[in-house]
Structure 1
Amino acid sequence: MAPLRRLLLCLCLPLLLPSPAAPAPAPGPRTDWVACRSLSRELSRLVATLKEPHRVLEETQLSEEDPKNWPPRIRCSDACDPSTLDTNNTRCLQRILQGLQHYRDLLGSDIFTARRLPRLEATLDQLLGLVQQEHGRPPRHSLAPSETWAHPLLQRMALQRLQSFVAIMSRVFTHSASAR
Protein backbone atom coordinates (compact mmCIF):
# COMPACT_ATOMS: atom_id res chain seq x y z
CA MET A 1 0.00 0.00 0.00
CA ALA A 2 2.90 2.36 0.69
CA PRO A 3 4.12 2.36 -2.92
CA LEU A 4 0.60 3.20 -4.11
CA ARG A 5 0.32 6.04 -1.58
CA ARG A 6 3.73 7.35 -2.64
CA LEU A 7 2.68 7.24 -6.30
CA LEU A 8 -0.54 9.15 -5.58
CA LEU A 9 1.39 11.71 -3.54
CA CYS A 10 3.87 12.19 -6.40
CA LEU A 11 1.04 12.63 -8.88
CA CYS A 12 -1.03 14.99 -6.72
CA LEU A 13 1.77 17.05 -5.19
CA PRO A 14 2.37 19.17 -8.31
CA LEU A 15 -1.32 20.06 -8.30
CA LEU A 16 -1.08 21.37 -4.74
CA LEU A 17 2.10 23.39 -5.20
CA PRO A 18 1.98 26.83 -6.84
CA SER A 19 3.07 26.68 -10.44
CA PRO A 20 6.24 28.50 -11.39
CA ALA A 21 5.63 31.84 -13.03
CA ALA A 22 5.45 31.49 -16.77
CA PRO A 23 7.72 33.83 -18.66
CA ALA A 24 5.86 36.84 -19.92
CA PRO A 25 5.27 36.74 -23.65
CA ALA A 26 7.43 39.10 -25.60
CA PRO A 27 5.39 42.10 -26.63
CA GLY A 28 4.65 42.04 -30.33
CA PRO A 29 4.13 45.02 -32.53
CA ARG A 30 1.22 47.14 -31.35
CA THR A 31 -1.33 48.87 -33.50
CA ASP A 32 -0.61 52.56 -33.91
CA TRP A 33 -4.19 53.73 -33.38
CA VAL A 34 -3.46 57.40 -33.93
CA ALA A 35 -1.77 56.75 -37.27
CA CYS A 36 -4.60 54.40 -38.28
CA ARG A 37 -7.15 57.08 -37.35
CA SER A 38 -5.32 59.66 -39.44
CA LEU A 39 -4.98 57.37 -42.47
CA SER A 40 -8.57 56.16 -42.27
CA ARG A 41 -9.78 59.77 -42.22
CA GLU A 42 -7.59 60.55 -45.23
CA LEU A 43 -8.92 57.47 -47.03
CA SER A 44 -12.48 58.55 -46.26
CA ARG A 45 -11.75 62.04 -47.57
CA LEU A 46 -10.19 60.70 -50.76
CA VAL A 47 -13.09 58.35 -51.51
CA ALA A 48 -15.62 61.12 -50.85
CA THR A 49 -13.90 63.49 -53.29
CA LEU A 50 -13.88 61.04 -56.21
CA LYS A 51 -16.06 62.22 -59.05
CA GLU A 52 -18.09 59.79 -61.11
CA PRO A 53 -16.72 60.06 -64.68
CA HIS A 54 -19.98 58.71 -66.14
CA ARG A 55 -22.74 61.16 -65.22
CA VAL A 56 -25.49 58.64 -65.94
CA LEU A 57 -24.21 56.43 -63.11
CA GLU A 58 -24.46 59.15 -60.46
CA GLU A 59 -28.11 58.39 -59.76
CA THR A 60 -27.80 54.65 -60.22
CA GLN A 61 -28.15 52.40 -57.21
CA LEU A 62 -26.40 49.10 -57.75
CA SER A 63 -27.03 45.97 -55.79
CA GLU A 64 -25.73 42.47 -56.02
CA GLU A 65 -28.14 39.57 -55.81
CA ASP A 66 -25.74 36.90 -54.56
CA PRO A 67 -24.65 37.56 -50.94
CA LYS A 68 -21.78 35.06 -51.29
CA ASN A 69 -20.04 37.54 -53.59
CA TRP A 70 -20.30 40.47 -51.21
CA PRO A 71 -17.03 41.99 -50.11
CA PRO A 72 -15.93 41.81 -46.47
CA ARG A 73 -18.07 43.99 -44.24
CA ILE A 74 -17.75 44.96 -40.63
CA ARG A 75 -20.64 43.23 -38.89
CA CYS A 76 -21.89 43.22 -35.29
CA SER A 77 -20.31 39.80 -34.79
CA ASP A 78 -16.87 41.26 -35.56
CA ALA A 79 -16.69 42.84 -32.09
CA CYS A 80 -15.94 46.35 -33.33
CA ASP A 81 -18.20 48.02 -30.78
CA PRO A 82 -16.50 50.37 -28.27
CA SER A 83 -16.94 48.15 -25.21
CA THR A 84 -15.37 45.13 -26.90
CA LEU A 85 -12.60 47.14 -28.57
CA ASP A 86 -11.38 48.29 -25.17
CA THR A 87 -10.82 44.71 -24.01
CA ASN A 88 -10.11 42.65 -27.14
CA ASN A 89 -9.72 44.12 -30.61
CA THR A 90 -8.23 41.12 -32.43
CA ARG A 91 -11.33 39.94 -34.28
CA CYS A 92 -12.24 43.48 -35.34
CA LEU A 93 -8.74 44.22 -36.64
CA GLN A 94 -8.68 40.94 -38.54
CA ARG A 95 -11.95 41.88 -40.27
CA ILE A 96 -10.58 45.34 -41.07
CA LEU A 97 -7.41 43.77 -42.45
CA GLN A 98 -9.46 41.39 -44.59
CA GLY A 99 -11.52 44.28 -45.95
CA LEU A 100 -8.50 46.49 -46.63
CA GLN A 101 -6.78 43.66 -48.51
CA HIS A 102 -9.95 43.00 -50.53
CA TYR A 103 -10.26 46.64 -51.62
CA ARG A 104 -6.54 46.88 -52.34
CA ASP A 105 -6.78 43.82 -54.59
CA LEU A 106 -9.84 45.34 -56.25
CA LEU A 107 -8.10 48.67 -56.94
CA GLY A 108 -5.23 46.74 -58.54
CA SER A 109 -7.51 44.60 -60.71
CA ASP A 110 -8.50 45.02 -64.34
CA ILE A 111 -11.62 46.91 -63.25
CA PHE A 112 -9.49 49.97 -62.52
CA THR A 113 -6.99 49.59 -65.39
CA ALA A 114 -8.35 52.62 -67.24
CA ARG A 115 -8.94 54.62 -64.07
CA ARG A 116 -6.02 54.29 -61.68
CA LEU A 117 -6.40 56.04 -58.32
CA PRO A 118 -2.78 56.35 -57.11
CA ARG A 119 -3.43 58.54 -54.02
CA LEU A 120 -6.23 56.26 -52.86
CA GLU A 121 -4.06 53.19 -53.46
CA ALA A 122 -1.09 54.71 -51.61
CA THR A 123 -3.19 55.67 -48.57
CA LEU A 124 -4.81 52.23 -48.55
CA ASP A 125 -1.35 50.62 -48.73
CA GLN A 126 -0.10 52.68 -45.77
CA LEU A 127 -3.11 51.78 -43.63
CA LEU A 128 -2.87 48.15 -44.67
CA GLY A 129 0.81 48.15 -43.65
CA LEU A 130 0.00 49.52 -40.19
CA VAL A 131 -2.70 46.94 -39.50
CA GLN A 132 -0.57 44.11 -40.95
CA GLN A 133 2.23 44.80 -38.46
CA GLU A 134 0.24 43.14 -35.71
CA HIS A 135 -2.05 40.77 -37.57
CA GLY A 136 -0.03 39.47 -40.50
CA ARG A 137 -0.93 39.42 -44.15
CA PRO A 138 -4.29 37.92 -45.15
CA PRO A 139 -4.37 35.76 -48.26
CA ARG A 140 -4.64 37.70 -51.48
CA HIS A 141 -7.33 36.75 -53.91
CA SER A 142 -6.96 37.22 -57.60
CA LEU A 143 -10.11 38.55 -59.12
CA ALA A 144 -11.57 37.06 -62.25
CA PRO A 145 -11.27 39.29 -65.30
CA SER A 146 -14.40 41.22 -66.10
CA GLU A 147 -15.93 42.53 -69.29
CA THR A 148 -14.64 45.96 -70.29
CA TRP A 149 -18.17 47.31 -70.74
CA ALA A 150 -18.91 46.51 -67.06
CA HIS A 151 -15.87 48.33 -65.61
CA PRO A 152 -17.64 51.66 -64.94
CA LEU A 153 -20.47 49.86 -63.12
CA LEU A 154 -18.07 47.69 -61.14
CA GLN A 155 -15.92 50.71 -60.26
CA ARG A 156 -18.95 52.58 -58.95
CA MET A 157 -20.08 49.61 -56.87
CA ALA A 158 -16.57 49.03 -55.50
CA LEU A 159 -16.08 52.68 -54.55
CA GLN A 160 -19.51 52.91 -52.89
CA ARG A 161 -18.78 49.83 -50.81
CA LEU A 162 -15.28 51.06 -50.00
CA GLN A 163 -16.79 54.33 -48.78
CA SER A 164 -19.18 52.46 -46.48
CA PHE A 165 -16.41 50.20 -45.19
CA VAL A 166 -14.09 53.15 -44.56
CA ALA A 167 -16.79 55.06 -42.65
CA ILE A 168 -17.20 52.24 -40.12
CA MET A 169 -13.48 51.48 -39.99
CA SER A 170 -12.73 55.14 -39.31
CA ARG A 171 -15.11 55.08 -36.34
CA VAL A 172 -13.26 52.08 -34.93
CA PHE A 173 -9.89 53.81 -35.24
CA THR A 174 -11.23 57.10 -33.88
CA HIS A 175 -12.61 55.39 -30.77
CA SER A 176 -9.47 53.32 -30.22
CA ALA A 177 -7.12 56.28 -30.69
CA SER A 178 -9.15 58.36 -28.23
CA ALA A 179 -9.24 55.57 -25.64
CA ARG A 180 -5.46 55.27 -25.48
Structure 2
Amino acid sequence: MAPLRRLRLWLLLVLLPPPPAAPAPAPAPLRRPDWAACRVLSRELARLLGTVREPHPVLEGMQLLEEEPQNWPPRIRCSDACDPQSLESNHTRCLHRIRQALQHYRDLLGSDIFREQPQPQLETTMEQLLRHVQDGHGRAPRDPLTPTKVWEQPLHRHLALKRLRSFAALIGRVFNHRAR
Protein backbone atom coordinates (compact mmCIF):
# COMPACT_ATOMS: atom_id res chain seq x y z
CA MET A 1 0.00 0.00 0.00
CA ALA A 2 2.87 2.41 0.76
CA PRO A 3 4.24 2.24 -2.83
CA LEU A 4 0.81 3.06 -4.23
CA ARG A 5 0.51 6.00 -1.85
CA ARG A 6 3.93 7.30 -2.92
CA LEU A 7 2.92 6.94 -6.56
CA ARG A 8 -0.22 9.03 -5.96
CA LEU A 9 1.76 11.73 -4.18
CA TRP A 10 4.30 11.78 -6.96
CA LEU A 11 1.55 12.05 -9.61
CA LEU A 12 -0.08 14.89 -7.67
CA LEU A 13 3.21 16.76 -7.51
CA VAL A 14 3.86 16.25 -11.20
CA LEU A 15 0.37 17.15 -12.35
CA LEU A 16 -0.21 20.15 -10.07
CA PRO A 17 0.56 23.52 -11.59
CA PRO A 18 3.68 25.17 -10.22
CA PRO A 19 3.17 27.73 -7.47
CA PRO A 20 2.87 31.30 -8.74
CA ALA A 21 6.24 32.94 -9.19
CA ALA A 22 7.12 36.01 -7.23
CA PRO A 23 6.43 39.13 -9.25
CA ALA A 24 9.45 40.36 -11.16
CA PRO A 25 10.93 43.54 -9.75
CA ALA A 26 9.91 46.59 -11.67
CA PRO A 27 12.70 47.81 -13.92
CA ALA A 28 14.42 50.90 -12.69
CA PRO A 29 13.12 53.92 -14.55
CA LEU A 30 15.63 55.06 -17.13
CA ARG A 31 16.88 58.49 -16.42
CA ARG A 32 16.88 60.75 -19.42
CA PRO A 33 20.22 62.40 -19.96
CA ASP A 34 20.49 66.09 -19.27
CA TRP A 35 21.23 67.09 -22.86
CA ALA A 36 22.04 70.70 -22.00
CA ALA A 37 24.60 69.64 -19.38
CA CYS A 38 26.08 67.13 -21.84
CA ARG A 39 26.39 69.91 -24.42
CA VAL A 40 28.20 72.18 -21.95
CA LEU A 41 30.54 69.38 -20.85
CA SER A 42 31.31 68.28 -24.42
CA ARG A 43 32.21 71.89 -25.27
CA GLU A 44 34.45 72.02 -22.21
CA LEU A 45 36.06 68.74 -23.27
CA ALA A 46 36.78 70.15 -26.73
CA ARG A 47 38.18 73.35 -25.21
CA LEU A 48 40.48 71.43 -22.88
CA LEU A 49 41.66 69.21 -25.72
CA GLY A 50 42.61 72.34 -27.64
CA THR A 51 44.96 73.35 -24.83
CA VAL A 52 46.83 70.04 -24.64
CA ARG A 53 50.21 70.29 -26.32
CA GLU A 54 52.47 67.51 -27.44
CA PRO A 55 55.67 67.28 -25.40
CA HIS A 56 57.39 66.19 -28.61
CA PRO A 57 56.52 68.85 -31.23
CA VAL A 58 57.55 66.55 -34.09
CA LEU A 59 54.42 64.46 -33.39
CA GLU A 60 52.07 67.44 -33.98
CA GLY A 61 52.09 67.13 -37.77
CA MET A 62 52.80 63.42 -37.98
CA GLN A 63 50.30 61.01 -39.44
CA LEU A 64 50.81 57.56 -37.98
CA LEU A 65 49.58 54.43 -39.67
CA GLU A 66 48.76 51.58 -37.36
CA GLU A 67 47.16 48.23 -37.15
CA GLU A 68 43.88 48.10 -35.31
CA PRO A 69 45.05 47.61 -31.73
CA GLN A 70 42.67 46.09 -29.24
CA ASN A 71 43.17 48.93 -26.75
CA TRP A 72 41.38 51.54 -28.87
CA PRO A 73 37.87 52.71 -28.13
CA PRO A 74 34.73 51.68 -29.91
CA ARG A 75 34.15 53.89 -32.90
CA ILE A 76 30.82 55.50 -33.55
CA ARG A 77 29.52 54.10 -36.81
CA CYS A 78 26.50 54.92 -38.94
CA SER A 79 24.71 51.90 -37.47
CA ASP A 80 24.91 53.50 -34.01
CA ALA A 81 22.11 55.89 -34.96
CA CYS A 82 23.83 59.11 -33.87
CA ASP A 83 22.47 61.06 -36.84
CA PRO A 84 19.84 63.75 -36.17
CA GLN A 85 16.89 61.77 -37.57
CA SER A 86 17.67 58.64 -35.54
CA LEU A 87 18.31 60.66 -32.38
CA GLU A 88 14.79 62.06 -32.57
CA SER A 89 13.17 58.63 -32.45
CA ASN A 90 15.57 56.59 -30.29
CA HIS A 91 18.84 57.72 -28.75
CA THR A 92 19.66 54.63 -26.66
CA ARG A 93 22.00 52.96 -29.16
CA CYS A 94 23.93 56.17 -29.73
CA LEU A 95 24.22 56.86 -25.99
CA HIS A 96 25.38 53.31 -25.38
CA ARG A 97 28.22 53.71 -27.88
CA ILE A 98 29.13 57.15 -26.51
CA ARG A 99 29.18 55.68 -23.00
CA GLN A 100 31.50 52.85 -24.11
CA ALA A 101 33.90 55.27 -25.76
CA LEU A 102 33.85 57.69 -22.81
CA GLN A 103 34.69 54.85 -20.45
CA HIS A 104 37.56 53.79 -22.66
CA TYR A 105 38.98 57.31 -23.01
CA ARG A 106 38.65 57.82 -19.26
CA ASP A 107 40.65 54.63 -18.74
CA LEU A 108 43.23 55.75 -21.31
CA LEU A 109 43.66 59.11 -19.56
CA GLY A 110 44.38 57.25 -16.33
CA SER A 111 46.79 54.79 -17.93
CA ASP A 112 50.57 54.74 -18.20
CA ILE A 113 50.61 56.57 -21.53
CA PHE A 114 49.62 59.77 -19.71
CA ARG A 115 51.86 59.21 -16.68
CA GLU A 116 54.42 61.78 -17.83
CA GLN A 117 51.77 64.25 -18.94
CA PRO A 118 48.70 63.74 -16.71
CA GLN A 119 45.47 65.44 -17.69
CA PRO A 120 43.42 65.83 -14.49
CA GLN A 121 41.03 68.43 -15.95
CA LEU A 122 40.30 66.21 -18.95
CA GLU A 123 39.72 63.24 -16.65
CA THR A 124 37.37 65.25 -14.42
CA THR A 125 35.35 66.55 -17.38
CA MET A 126 35.22 63.05 -18.86
CA GLU A 127 33.94 61.66 -15.52
CA GLN A 128 31.24 64.34 -15.31
CA LEU A 129 30.13 63.69 -18.87
CA LEU A 130 30.12 59.96 -18.24
CA ARG A 131 27.89 60.44 -15.18
CA HIS A 132 25.37 62.30 -17.33
CA VAL A 133 25.12 59.52 -19.91
CA GLN A 134 25.13 56.58 -17.49
CA ASP A 135 21.35 56.01 -17.84
CA GLY A 136 21.09 54.81 -14.27
CA HIS A 137 23.77 52.14 -14.68
CA GLY A 138 25.85 53.49 -11.80
CA ARG A 139 29.52 54.21 -12.00
CA ALA A 140 31.39 52.14 -14.55
CA PRO A 141 34.53 50.48 -13.21
CA ARG A 142 37.90 51.35 -14.65
CA ASP A 143 39.38 48.67 -16.85
CA PRO A 144 43.11 48.23 -16.51
CA LEU A 145 44.80 48.60 -19.88
CA THR A 146 47.79 46.61 -20.94
CA PRO A 147 50.99 48.49 -20.12
CA THR A 148 52.93 49.96 -23.01
CA LYS A 149 56.66 50.14 -23.51
CA VAL A 150 58.21 53.46 -22.49
CA TRP A 151 59.27 54.32 -26.04
CA GLU A 152 55.70 53.71 -27.33
CA GLN A 153 53.98 55.98 -24.82
CA PRO A 154 54.40 59.29 -26.69
CA LEU A 155 53.06 57.67 -29.87
CA HIS A 156 50.08 56.13 -28.09
CA ARG A 157 49.39 59.44 -26.31
CA HIS A 158 49.47 61.26 -29.66
CA LEU A 159 47.02 58.79 -31.20
CA ALA A 160 44.76 58.82 -28.15
CA LEU A 161 44.55 62.63 -28.17
CA LYS A 162 43.96 62.72 -31.91
CA ARG A 163 41.09 60.23 -31.65
CA LEU A 164 39.70 61.89 -28.56
CA ARG A 165 39.56 65.22 -30.42
CA SER A 166 37.58 63.59 -33.24
CA PHE A 167 35.31 61.87 -30.76
CA ALA A 168 34.74 65.12 -28.84
CA ALA A 169 33.74 66.88 -32.07
CA LEU A 170 31.25 64.15 -32.89
CA ILE A 171 29.63 63.98 -29.46
CA GLY A 172 29.54 67.77 -29.40
CA ARG A 173 27.33 67.65 -32.50
CA VAL A 174 25.13 64.92 -30.96
CA PHE A 175 24.63 66.78 -27.69
CA ASN A 176 24.17 70.13 -29.41
CA HIS A 177 21.42 68.67 -31.60
CA ARG A 178 19.59 67.02 -28.69
CA ALA A 179 19.90 70.06 -26.38
CA ARG A 180 18.02 72.33 -28.80
* Structure 1 stretches of 4+ moved >6 Å: none
Deviations 1:78-106 (A, max 9, x none): 00011110110000000000000000000
Is 2:92 the partner of 1:98? no
Structural mapping, 1:28-177, within 5 Å: 28-66=30-68, 70-136=72-138, 140-177=142-179
Letter matched to residue 129 of structure 2: L
Deviations 1:91-137 (A, max 9, x none): 00000000000000000011111110111111011001111144555
Gaps of 5+ in 1: 1-23
Identity among equivalent pairs (%):
62
SS in 2 for 1:31: coil
Contact 2:46 2:169 in 1 (8 A): yes
Letter matched to residue 107 of structure 1: L
TM-score by length of 1: 0.79
* Shift in CA distance, 116/67, structure 1 to aligned 2, threshold 3 Å: closer
Gaps of 5+ in 2: 1-25
Contact 2:71 2:145 in 1 (8 A): no
Whose Rg is larger? 2
The CA RMSD measured in Å over matched residues stands at 2.0
- Greater displacement, 114-123 / 61-70: 61-70
Contact 2:113 2:153 in 1 (8 A): yes
- Greater displacement, 123-132 / 67-76: 67-76
Instruction: Report the number of matched residues.
Output: 155
CA distance in 1 between counterparts of 2:60 and 2:29 reads: 48
Write 1 or 2 for the structure with the bigger share of helix.
1
TM-score by length of 2: 0.79
CA distance in 2 between counterparts of 1:33 and 1:46 reads: 20
